[in-house]
């Protein structure tokens, strides 16, 4: 059966599965992470217990570590399949400065086109590249917080254990900021949600 342009698969099934698994892993990690944070706050505030996961520190750590491995292996699979299929280079590059300024201004005016869902505009490219780097930073800083003695080089690169906690916290904030913008854009262009469910 030959697919017409509107029936063409844009997001393969492995990508869609990866996306939704990442969503589950990130939600679990954030909610359990807030409970872990509350046990030893870095700043002068705590998260309401009602929006945390785990019930107590030990329970939160179990949830956090379970989701950590899910995020880690799912992330590795995402990078491997994207790079091996050529999708990574085709979708995220090149990133041209001129295109970025034009797309960014169009986004501010609410006129950023989403006509071709098979292609990312420059703002999308940078946003997705940013979140990939941010998740890598979350994993690396999380390793230092989890096993500071076993990862001395990483610990020193981040300043020290306490600094790694701050890096981990702000990487989480950056991920949540991305998620808010991502959901807002999906609300503005709902066909992107259908695309991530059906693939076309």
* pLDDT per position as a tens digit, 60-84: 999 999 999 999 999 999 999 999 9
- The 8-class DSSP code of residue 149 comes to T
Q: What is the pTM of this model?
A: 0.87
- Contact between 105 and 122 under an 8 Å Cβ cutoff? The reply is no
Peptide bond into 21 cis (omega under 30): no
Mean pLDDT of 4-27: 86
Query: Among 27, 31, 25, 22, which Cα is nearest to 60's?
Result: 31
Q: Where does the pLDDT of residue 110 fall: very low under 50, low under 70, confident under 90, or very high at 90 and above?
A: low
Whether residue 2 is predicted with pLDDT greater than 60 in this model: the reply is no
What does the pLDDT look like over 154-200, one tens digit per residue? 999 999 999 999 999 999 999 999 999 889 888 877 888 888 888 88
Query: Among 65, 72, 66, which Cα is nearest to 22's?
Result: 72
DSSP, residue by residue, 83-142: HHHTHHHHHH----HHHHHHHHHHHHTT------TTS--HHHHHHHHHHHHHHHHHHHHH
pLDDT > 90: percent of the chain: 66
- Contact between 117 and 10 under an 8 Å Cβ cutoff? The reply is yes
Take residue 140 and report the two structure tokens written for it.
Answer: 């690396």
- Contact between 127 and 158 under an 8 Å Cβ cutoff? The reply is no
Whether residue 106 is predicted with pLDDT greater than 80 in this model: the reply is no
């Amino acid at each position: 059966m030959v697919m017409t342009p509107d029936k063409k698969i844009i997001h393969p099934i492995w990508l869609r599965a990866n996306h939704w698994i990442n969503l589950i892993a990130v939600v679990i990690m954030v909610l359990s992470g807030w409970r872990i944070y509350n046990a030893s706050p870095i700043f002068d505030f705590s998260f309401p217990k009602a929006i945390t996961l785990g019930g107590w520190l030990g329970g939160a750590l179990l949830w956090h570590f379970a989701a950590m491995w899910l995020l880690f292996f799912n992330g590795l699979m995402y990078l491997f399949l994207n790079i091996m299929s050529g999708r990574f280079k085709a979708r995220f590059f090149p990133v041209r400065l001129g295109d970025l300024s034009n797309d960014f201004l169009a986004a501010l005016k609410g006129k950023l086109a989403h006509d071709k869902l098979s292609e990312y505009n420059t703002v999308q490219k940078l946003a997705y590249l940013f979140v990939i780097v941010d998740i890598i930073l979350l994993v690396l800083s999380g390793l230092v917080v989890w096993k500071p003695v076993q990862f001395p080089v990483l610990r020193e690169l981040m300043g020290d254990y306490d600094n790694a906690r701050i890096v981990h916290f702000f990487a989480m904030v950056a991920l949540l900021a991305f998620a808010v913008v991502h959901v807002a854009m999906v609300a503005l262009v709902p066909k992107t949600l259908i695309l991530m469910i059906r693939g076309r």
